[in-house]
Structure 1
Amino acid sequence: MTEFVVITRPLAQADALAQRVTELGREAVIFPLLEILPLDDPTSLQNVLRDLDQYALIAFVSPNAIDAAFAARPDWPRHIPLAVVGEGSRAALASHGATAHNSTIISPTDLDRTDSQTLLAELDLDALRGKQVLIVRGETGRELLGDALRAAGAQVTPVAAYRRVAPIFDNARRGELKRLLACQNDWIVTSSEGLRFLTEMVAQLDETGSVAKMQQQRIIVSHVRIAETAQLLGFSNITLTRSGDDGLLAALQSCS
């Protein structure tokens, strides 16, 4: 039995999952690997959100994109179809009042692999030819969705809604990471970028064996791309689960 369940989501998104982990009888530790920040200059986002009626589809790349967009424009129009990648994004839409009952929401039907490629398989690309599509995203990220839509003839407008940065690796976080590496834990990791930040932090500990200890921890991931990143970074105990908190929790229970 491992000791802690380490939740590495950004702080604002970690509490709900931590509560569900606690209800399973496990001790949750929140150790964010990403910090979500507002844009330095939100002018472009605000300008785009003022005139949404021109778009035939609005795609959100993550729950963070949804939260930032709805914060910037709470009165979201319900007649424009929305596209999201995973169950976490569907839950984020629901938290802002957008559900299948009042909105058209398109997402991958194969919950074992939820990404831009499986989302594209659900879209009517022919119907989007010549139409305007808005992609709400972070300042950086993959271009696969936008490139594929452009290749299909859509006119794509990407707009940044938030920034992702690595949390400051101060003495408190350094001490917490050392404490976690002193035992075996289950780490819930939902970002390839965050996992890379984690390995960089471990390398900065300058303690013999820290990297090896981290690579031996159990990593529970919600996407095949994160699993591939974990393998490249030398992790040997990787559990891949389906999208959404239910999948993560089911994998956690099966690992116990």
Structure 2
Amino acid sequence: MPDLPSVVVTRPAAQADALAQRIAAIGRTPVLFPLLDILPLPDTVPLRAALAELDRYALIAFVSPNAIDAAFAARPDWPHGLQLAVVGDGSRAALERHGITPGNSTIFIPHDRERTDSQTLLEALDLPALHGKDILIVRGEAGRELLGDALRAAGAHVTLVAAYRRAMPAFTEQRRRELKRLLDGQNDWIVTSSEALRFLAQMVAQLDEKNKGEAVAKMQQQRIIASHVRIAETAQSLGFRNVVRSASGDDGLLAALQSLS
């Protein structure tokens, strides 16, 4: 039986280890190659101000595990009994790491675990009950406006606050060599962010400054395991020929890997 391809985990470095361990446990070889850096904000005053008055909000929504980790770093003494909303299982698990569970707080999460995003979160909320209420959305410096716009359309008063920023990791000579090595083989790339894919394309373009498209062609032959339809669409727009959609969360990603074994 031929060796199975390595599995490239592209999550930010601080979030990659747990998934890498689970990949190794099913007999695959994980390779860590972060495509996103999660960085602190240069100014956390607005975030701390918003978190200082949590009791005024009828709902606090987090767009990602990064938003949760940054919010709890800014305010460790998180009160129980709040109504919270998250877009997926990764964020639910992040809340649990900080001691927030359905036993001490109300947590809204999409019912459709095959597709977890702002749209399916909205379907899980009682929008009429939020009319006239204050809602806090904790997110990165930039992001989709769907959740906030829909809540405003339902008559809620929405405050958006940034908790972190995303950036492309420094493309050092060591990372150039590692990316070239990965592209010379066939790998399964786990991608949980469209932005990460676009950063990958930028890195490959830098490799290709003297190679006349050779690296891009190799990149497009890699297999992408995308945890959301938008990520799959981004991969296809970048020319990837082998894109596999998985369910959201680590369980969905592992199930997709096992189906390919």
Secondary structure at the counterpart of residue 136 of structure 2? strand
Corresponding position of 1:231 = 236
Secondary structure at the counterpart of residue 204 of structure 1? helix
Q: 2:254 aligns with which of 244, 249, 252?
A: 249
Secondary structure at the counterpart of residue 155 of structure 2? coil
Equivalents in 1 of 2:79, 2:127: separation in Å? 22
Corresponding position of 1:121 = 123
Aligned-partner residue type, residue 63 of structure 2 = V
Q: TM-score, normalised by structure 1?
A: 0.98
**Structure 2: unaligned runs, 5 residues or longer:** none
Q: Does 1:139 align with 2:147?
A: no
Aligned-partner residue type, residue 219 of structure 1 = I
Which stretches of structure 1, 4 residues or longer, exceed 3 Å deviation after superposition? none
Equivalents in 2 of 1:212, 1:71: separation in Å? 42
Corresponding position of 1:20 = 22
Equivalents in 2 of 1:223, 1:3: separation in Å? 22
Equivalents in 2 of 1:77, 1:242: separation in Å? 32
Is the CA contact 1:2–1:184 (under 8 Å) kept in the aligned structure 2? no
**Cα displacement (A) at 1:251:** 0.3
**Cα displacement (A) at 1:27:** 1.1
- Aligned-CA RMSD value: 0.9
Secondary structure at the counterpart of residue 53 of structure 1? helix
Q: 1:160 aligns with which of 154, 159, 162?
A: 162
Secondary structure at the counterpart of residue 33 of structure 1? coil
Aligned-partner residue type, residue 225 of structure 1 = R
Secondary structure at the counterpart of residue 82 of structure 1? strand
Corresponding position of 2:181 = 179
Corresponding position of 2:112 = 110
**Cα displacement (A) at 1:3:** 2.4
Equivalents in 2 of 1:249, 1:234: separation in Å? 24
Corresponding position of 1:30 = 32
Q: TM-score, normalised by structure 2?
A: 0.96
Equivalents in 1 of 2:221, 2:184: separation in Å? 12
Equivalents in 1 of 2:5, 2:131: separation in Å? 52
Aligned-partner residue type, residue 55 of structure 1 = Y
Equivalents in 2 of 1:19, 1:8: separation in Å? 14
Pairing 1:28-107 to 2, within 5 Å after superposition: 28-107=30-109
Is the CA contact 2:4–2:28 (under 8 Å) kept in the aligned structure 1? no
**Cα displacement (A) at 1:2:** 4.0
Identity of aligned residues (%): 71
Query: Which piece of structure 1 moves more, 70-79 or 104-113?
Result: 70-79
